[in-house]
Chain A
Amino acid sequence: MRFRLSYFVIVSSILLFAYFYSQNSIVTSSVVFTAIPFALPLALAAMVGVMCERTGIVNIGIEGTMLVSAFTAFFLGAILKNISAGLFIGIMTGVLVGLLLSVMTITWKMDQIIAGVIINIMAAGITSFLYRQNYRIPSTFLPIDIPVIGDIPVIGPIVSNHGPITYFGIIFIFGLWVALYKTPWGLRSRSVGEHPSSADTAGVSVVRLRYINVTIAGAVGGLAGSYLALEAVGIFERGFTAGKGFTALAIMIFGRWNPLGAFAAALFFGLSQAVTNQLMIDEVVQIPQQFVTMLPYVLTILILAISAGKVRPPAAEGIPYEKEKV
Chain B
Amino acid sequence: MTNLLEVENLSKRFGSVQANHEISLTVKPGEIVALLGENGAGKSTLVKAVIGLVKPDSGVIRVKGEELPYGDTAEAIARGIGMVHQHFQLVPVMSVTENLVLGDEPTKFGFIQMQKAKRETAELSKRYGLAIDPDAIIEDLPVGMAQRVEILKALRRDVSLLILDEPTAVLTPQETDELLEVLRNLAKKGVGILFITHKLREVMALADRVVVLRNGKLAGSTTPKESSESQLAQLMVGREVVLHVEKGPGNPTGAALEVRELEVLDDRKLEAVKGLSLQVNAGEILGIAGVEGNGQRELVEAICGMRNRRKGTVRIAGKEVPNLKPHEVHAAGVSHIPEDRERHGLVASYSIADNLVLNRFDQEPFAKGWIRNLDAVASNGEELVERYDIRTPSASAPASSLSGGNKQKTVVARELSQDLPVVVASQPTRGVDVGSIEFIHKQLISARDRGAAVLLVSAELDEILSLSDRVAVLYGGKIVATFDSKFANRDEIGRLMAGSQGAHS
Contacts and interface: CB of A to CB of B under 8 A. Distances in A.
A100 B77 CA distance: 32
Contacts of A200: 53, 73, 89
B92 to A, nearest CB: 7
Interface string A176-205: 000000111001101100110111111111
Contact of B89 (A182, A183, A188, A202): A202
A323 interface: yes
Contacts of B393: none
Interface stretch (B99-107, B193-201, B339-347, B450-458): B99-107
Nearest to B52: A203
A315 B90 CA distance: 13
Interface in B1-43: 14
A198 B99 contact: yes
A294 interface: no
A195 B91 contact: yes
Contact of A201 (B53, B101, B111): B53
Contact of A203 (B54, B85, B98, B104): B104
Contacts of A202: 77, 89, 102-104, 153
A50 to B, nearest CB: 16
Contacts of B14: 324
Interface residues of B, number: 30
B8 to A, nearest CB: 22
A187 B98 CA distance: 8
A326 interface: yes
A183 B110 contact: yes
Nearest to B109: A183
B120 to A, nearest CB: 15
Contact of B102 (A183, A199, A312, A324): A199
Interface of B: 14, 48, 51, 53-54, 73-74, 77-78, 83, 85, 87, 89-94, 98-99, 101-105, 107, 110-112, 153
Given A203-B73, A324-B53, A194 B91 contact: yes
Contacts of A312: 93
23 contacts: A182-B112, A183-B111, A187-B94, A187-B98, A188-B102, A191-B91, A194-B93, A195-B92, A198-B91, A198-B102, A200-B73, A201-B73, A201-B83, A202-B77, A202-B89, A202-B102, A202-B153, A203-B74, A204-B74, A315-B92, A315-B93, A324-B48, A326-B53
A205 B52 CA distance: 12
Given A195-B92, A197-B89, A201-B83, 16 more contacts: A184-B105, A184-B112, A187-B98, A188-B102, A194-B93, A199-B91, A200-B53, A200-B89, A201-B51, A202-B104, A202-B153, A204-B74, A204-B102, A205-B74, A315-B92, A324-B48
Count class of interface residues, chain A? 20 to 34
A191 B94 contact: yes
Nearest to B75: A203
A227 B365 CA distance: 70
B112 A198 contact: no
B74 A195 contact: no
B100 to A, nearest CB: 9
A199 B53 CA distance: 12
B290 to A, nearest CB: 27
Nearest to B110: A183
Contacts of B104: 202-203
Interface in A88-125: none
A201 B85 contact: yes
Nearest to A202: B103
Given A324-B54, A326-B48, A326-B53, A187 B102 contact: yes
Given A183-B110, A187-B112, A324-B54, A199 B92 contact: no
A205 to B, nearest CB: 8
A123 to B, nearest CB: 34
Contacts of A205: 74
Q: Which 8 A-B pairs have the closest CB atoms?
A: A202-B103, A203-B74, A184-B105, A201-B89, A198-B89, A195-B91, A203-B103, A191-B91
B77 A203 contact: yes
Interface string A291-326: 000000000000000000000100100000001101
Q: Most chain-B CB neighbours within 10 Å: which of A187, A198, A326? A: A198
Nearest to A326: B53
A195 B138 CA distance: 12
Nearest to B107: A184
B6 to A, nearest CB: 22
A205 B112 CA distance: 19
Contacts of A187: 94, 98, 101-102, 105, 112
B112 A183 contact: yes
A194 B99 CA distance: 12
A219 to B, nearest CB: 20
B296 to A, nearest CB: 25
A225 to B, nearest CB: 29
Contacts of B112: 182-184, 187
B105 A323 contact: no
B149 to A, nearest CB: 11
Contacts of B94: 187, 190-191, 194
Interface in A30-74: none
A191 B103 CA distance: 10
A278 to B, nearest CB: 42
A59 B102 CA distance: 25
A17 to B, nearest CB: 34
A199 B103 contact: yes
Contact of A204 (B54, B83, B103, B111): B103
Contacts of B53: 200-201, 323-324, 326
Nearest to B76: A203
A324 B110 CA distance: 32
Contacts of B83: 201
Nearest to B83: A201
A198 B78 CA distance: 16
A326 B54 CA distance: 9
B469 to A, nearest CB: 40
Contacts of A315: 92-93
Residue among B73, B77, B91, B99 with most chain A CB within 10 A: B91
A195 B90 contact: yes
Contacts of A203: 73-74, 77-78, 103-104
